[in-house]
Amino acid sequence: MKRIFALLGIGVVLAVSGCSGSGNQGAGEGGKLDIYFLDMVGGASTLIVTPAGESVLIDTGSLEPKHRDADRIHQACKDAGLAKIDYLVTTHFDVDHYGGILELSKRIPIKRFIDNDTPAKDISKRQRFQQLNPLYEEATGGKTKLLSAGEDIPLKNVTKGKRGAVRIHCVASQKRVEGFDGDVDAAVEGFEMDRADTSNNAGSIALVLTYGKFKFFAGGDITLNVEHHLAHSVNRIGKVDLYQVTHHGLDRSNNPLLLAALSPTVCVAMNGPRKGVQPRTFGVLKGLPSVKAIYQIHYNTQYGDKGNTGGEFIANPKDNADQGQYIKASVYPEKDIFTVSIGPDGAPKTYQIQ
């Protein structure tokens, strides 16, 4: 893929207009930051809207069923008052993370494209990948930027009061972990490491968002060995307030060592009716003293009580799985709180920022 712009040191400031059709209207009012966890039915798409009105979309769900995921992402953009997407991050090239990109790009302008640039060898020759890659190239025009561990997405800063700067920082990409120079799959004394993951998941982009004291971790689909080195021998992320449950809640990710290091207050799983949250991961999350609530996009029909939170925390319950409701978190750093609600009209629950 052709790389034609640098993330660090961008000299052009993107204009945000409150009245022009080219801007993001009404977004991020009053210092509030919003995060939308969208229903991709077991895929992934997360929309972030900063107080400055900038938008970052992480992944675009699946290509099929036709229109479904692009429709849902575009509707969330409308709910957020967005007329454009400033940055689109494709964490990795799995079909449920980048399938909706071309259709979405025809509905709303996308200004910058970011990815990990490492389609895995074991999928690059598959028919599905061969179908999706040309769509990705058409949407991006080849104008994409590799995001490496240690780099930031260059957002506008909001430094008033307790708000501090909004920062989205990459801690892992291409099976490389910030601050660790070794082989993530090598043996580690005193630990039983998982077998080497040669799939595209392990190379996924993992991001940490900070805003004032608030911290949010979204690890894409990174797997157990990469997660190990985010937590050992140094906790490279620290404690977080909000945790997007990695890899839809599958047990091949969500290393208990990392979950304990993160000690999240609220967890949100981007699962499907028959995909995640798996019992081992669910049990570890439930057992963390820090966790106040676990939210899920769907009720999982496979695991019953061993893989499902309470009904009030499930956006799309068993008896109404097709409604496409999202989960929304809103951050108010000057009040030291964040809220989580279901859908555009759901009653918010309030949680303290650590």
pLDDT grade for 124, boundaries at 50, 70 and 90: low
Residues 6+ apart with CB under 8 A from 94: 123, 200, 201, 221
**Between these two residues, 64 and 13, which has the higher pLDDT value?**
64
Question: Regarding predicted confidence, which is higher, 157 or 316?
Answer: 316
* CA dist list (Å): 181 to 186, 228, 234: 12, 14, 13
- In this prediction, residue 160 carries a pLDDT of 59
Residues 47/76, Cβ–Cβ less than 8 Å: yes
Separation between Cα atoms, residue 104 and residue 45, nearest integer Å: 12
Q: What pLDDT score does 19 carry?
A: 30
**Chain-centre distance for alpha carbon 48:** 9
pLDDT at 327: 98
pLDDT in tens, 2-51: 444 444 433 333 333 333 333 554 444 568 999 999 999 999 999 999 99
For residues 322 and 175, give the distance between their C-alpha atoms in angstroms, rounded to a whole number. Answer: 35
Helix (H) or strand (E) holding 138: helix 127-140
Supply 174's token pair.
């291409």
Q: What is the mean pLDDT of residues 290-295?
A: 98
Task: Provide CB contacts within 8 A for 37, sequence distance 6+.
Answer: 46, 244, 268, 270, 295, 297, 326, 327, 328, 329
Q: How far apart are CA 264 and CA 187, in angstroms?
A: 28
Please give the helix or strand (H or E) that residue 230 lies within, else none: helix 224-231
The two structure tokens encoding residue 319: 């008896």
| Cβ–Cβ < 8 Å for 243, 214 | no
Is residue 13 classed as helix, strand or coil in its secondary structure? coil
| Secondary element (H or E) of residue 259 | helix 256-262
**Rounded Cα distance, 304 and 58, in Å:** 29
* 299/274 Cα distance (integer angstroms): 8
Q: What is the pLDDT of residue 127?
A: 72
Indicate if the pLDDT at residue 311 is higher than 90. yes
* Site of tokens 């993951």: 197
* Residue 197: strand, helix, or coil: coil
Bigger pLDDT: 23 or 311? 311
- Predicted pLDDT of residue 158: 61
pLDDT (mean) for 232-241: 97
List, for residues 257-283, the tens digit of each pLDDT value: 999 999 999 999 999 999 999 999 999
Residue 291 has pLDDT above 70, yes or no: yes
Phi and psi at residue 345, to the nearest 5°? -120, 10
Q: What topology is assigned to 29-352 in CATH?
A: Metallo-beta-lactamase; Chain A (3.60.15)
Q: What is the mean pLDDT of residues 109-131?
A: 76
Give whole-number Cα distances, 305 to 106, 182, 310, 311, 317, in Å. 41, 39, 9, 11, 14
Q: How far apart are CA 253 and CA 165, in angstroms?
A: 30
How does 170-202 read in b/e, with b if 16+ C-beta sit within 10 Å? bbbbbbbbbebeeebbeeeeeeeebeebebbbb
Q: The pTM is what?
A: 0.91
